[in-house]
């Protein structure tokens, strides 16, 4: 129990200057994370540059808990690309492969059909009622890079919020009690 007493002691012995330093360093951590995120958004042109795979519909290529890096360039969508799209009326974006593309002659608008590699049929059942094709505005980005397992951190935190609060609490305590 010695470390609790030590911790209390260090809280008591805090001086205003130390508190300020710690607040500033905490602020630096939070803002630098935000800068990296927003910077990535600018560089990749996608509103969410990194997504976590939540379902097994792209197995064995992408498993639940893998993360994908997205890029949204001006290049038109082509068959075979793995895109992340939002369907009206569904909150969670879906990561699937494009299997059909029809691109208009003059306007350049595209009609796109997608399918999960591990699913039997195409995605028309997942789209909004009566929707046959995805358009450009549904698509948030195309996957360009892949990193396995890392996404489990966020999956565990969203599914077991208690772990998230424990972690934040522990980190907070560490910041308060650390001396330098």
Partner 1 sequence: MHSFGYRANAVVTFAVTILAVMCSIASLSDNFNASSPTAEIKVLNINWFQKQPNGNDEVSLTMNISADLQSMFTWNTKQVFVFVAAEYETPQNALNQVSLWDGILPSKENAKFWIHTTNKYRFVDQGSNLRGKDFNLTLHWHVMPKTGKMFADKIVMTGYRLPDSYR
Residues in contact with partner 1 by the rule CB under 8 A: 60-62, 78-82, 97, 99-105, 108, 111, 117, 122, 143-148, 174
Residue listed under structure tokens 């792209």: 58
Structure tokens at 86: 């939002």
Residue 96 bears catalytic tag: yes
Q: Do 99 and 83 meet the contact criterion of CB atoms below 8 Å apart?
A: no
Nearer to partner 1, 47 or 109 (CB): 109
Structure tokens at 93: 């974006």
Nearer to partner 1, 90 or 136 (CB): 136
Residue 25 bears catalytic tag: no
Q: Which of 46, 57, 66, 138 is catalytic?
A: 57
Q: Is 67 helix (H, G, I), strand (E, B) or coil?
A: strand
Residue listed under structure tokens 């498993």: 63
Question: Least distance (Å) from partner 1 to the CB of residue 73?
Answer: 14
Nearer to partner 1, 107 or 159 (CB): 107
Structure tokens at 100: 């059909």
List, by residue number, the catalytic residues. Answer: 57, 96, 123
């Amino acid at each position: 129990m010695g470390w609790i007493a030590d911790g209390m002691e260090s809280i008591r012995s805090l001086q205003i200057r130390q508190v300020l330093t710690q607040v500033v360093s905490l602020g630096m951590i939070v803002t630098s994370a935000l800068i990296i995120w927003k910077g990535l958004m600018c560089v990749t042109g996608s509103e969410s540059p990194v997504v976590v795979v939540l379902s097994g519909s792209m197995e064995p290529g992408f498993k639940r808990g893998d993360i994908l890096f997205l890029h949204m360039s001006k290049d038109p969508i082509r068959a075979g690309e793995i895109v992340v799209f939002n369907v009206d009326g569904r909150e969670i974006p879906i990561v699937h492969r494009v299997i059909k593309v029809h691109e208009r002659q003059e306007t350049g608008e595209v009609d796109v059909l997608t399918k999960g590699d591990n699913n039997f049929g195409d995605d028309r059942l997942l789209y909004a009622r009566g929707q046959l094709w995805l358009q450009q505005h549904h698509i948030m980005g195309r996957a360009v890079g892949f990193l396995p397992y890392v996404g489990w951190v966020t999956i565990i935190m969203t599914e077991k919020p208690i772990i998230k609060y424990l972690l934040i609490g522990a980190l907070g305590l560490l910041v308060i009690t650390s001396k330098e």
